[in-house]
Amino acid sequence: MPQFTLHRYCSAPMLGATDRHFRQLARFLSQKALLYTELVHAQALVRGTYALTLPAQAQGAPVALQLAGGETQDLAQAAAIATPYGFSEINLNIGCPSPKGVAGQFGLCLMEDPPLVARCFRACRQATNLPVTIKCRLGSNPAYPWEKLLNFVELLAQEGCQTFIVHARKADLKRYDTHQNRSLVPLDYPAVYRLKELYPQLEWVINGNITNNEEAAAHLRYVDGVMLGRSLYHNLFLLEEVDRLFFALPTPKRTREEYLKERALPYIEREIAQGAPLSHFVRHLLGLYQYQRQATFWRRYLSQNAYKPGATLEVVYKALEEMASRS
């Protein structure tokens, strides 16, 4: 049986959240977690300005580029454009339930048409030497048949897809909006475990409401990898133990203060010197003290002060000082 490790612990693609600064701040905590970019529409690469940012996007590899789109030519061109920039894979978004996806024929609605997904996959695969992977759901509507999902998997496997990331729920586009489709539709973890049983030669990564590393470890008894989205974004320090727990790397333990002073703040300082505003970084750090005694103070102090015009990194140092004096 193949041993899969690259996707053992992944941070989910999240539009408006997992930008390159988030990924860099995450990378300082874990060398091994696989970090996904936000969804990038193929046309943004082919005709838009995203290509100009590519040299900075894969910094802190391993980073997976997530592409969305339903046009084989665009997807192939986008994959080819991105190939030289150091990504570890191209991931196709077949799970996004947003109205834009439905209108623009990308994301979840493509699960309705497995042969089209297979053609998109093939087009990308022919355009790049990077692995191409799929992120999907258990179905695009509540009545999506299990047999159709198996057919979807088999068609893609025939095209050479090795890795499936499955958000362990279907969607209900008729009843729910994008946000509700991430929470109200019931989760079905056993269905993903079953996929691994049926297709053990493929790599299966489970996603959906995994809230901590204990839960992540429990899933790994059944599947090859876990992907965490919201809970990781809102509790970044989960990553601190990931290399030790999930990759057996003997990394020294660090405190949040050490992480900030030694890695995160020097990085932010360099970026600010090049013109980036403090707010671009602070938002990713608001959850750094999640579940700690100082969580409320930290979040409130930064929210109230870091977004003021002209705010500097002093705000963060002041918050740290204040917390040290209270403890």
Ligand X SMILES: Cc1cc2nc3c(=O)[nH]c(=O)nc-3n(C[C@H](O)[C@H](O)[C@H](O)COP(=O)(O)O)c2cc1C
Q: Which two tokens stand for residue 201?
A: 């030669």
Binding status of residue 15 toward ligand X by CB under 6 A: yes
Q: Which two tokens stand for residue 277?
A: 């505003």
Q: Which two tokens stand for residue 27?
A: 């990378």
Residue 42 or 210: the one with the smaller Cβ distance to ligand X is 210
Closest by CA position to 50, among listed 77, 28, 27: 77
At what angle are helices 114-127 and 72-82 packed, to 10 degrees? 30
206 and 191 Cβ atoms separated by less than 8 Å: no
Residue 175 or 179: the one with the smaller Cβ distance to ligand X is 179
Residue 39's DSSP bridge partners are 66
Q: Before 62, cis peptide (omega within 30)?
A: yes
Whether 96 is catalytic: yes
Residues from 80 through 119 that contact ligand X (CB under 6 A): 93, 95-96
Binding status of residue 7 toward ligand X by CB under 6 A: no
Tell me, residue by residue from 135 to 154, as one string, x for binding to ligand X by CB under 6 A and - for no binding. x-------------------
- Min. distance of Cβ 35 from ligand X in angstroms? 12
From 12, 35, 46, 285, residue interacting with ligand X (rule: CB under 6 A): 12
Question: Which residues lie closer than 8 Å to 293 by C-beta, 6 or more apart?
Answer: 327
From 26, 35, 39, 319, residue interacting with ligand X (rule: CB under 6 A): 39
Residue 183 or 255: the one with the smaller Cβ distance to ligand X is 183
- Min. distance of Cβ 132 from ligand X in angstroms? 15
Give CA–CA dist 200/88, Å, rounded: 22
3-state secondary structure of 118: helix
Task: Choose the stretch contacting ligand X; rule: CB under 6 A; options: 74-82, 147-155, 201-209, 245-253.
Answer: 201-209
The catalytic residue positions are 96
* Residues contributing to the site for ligand X (CB under 6 A): 12-17, 38-39, 66, 93, 95-96, 135, 167, 182, 207-210, 228-231
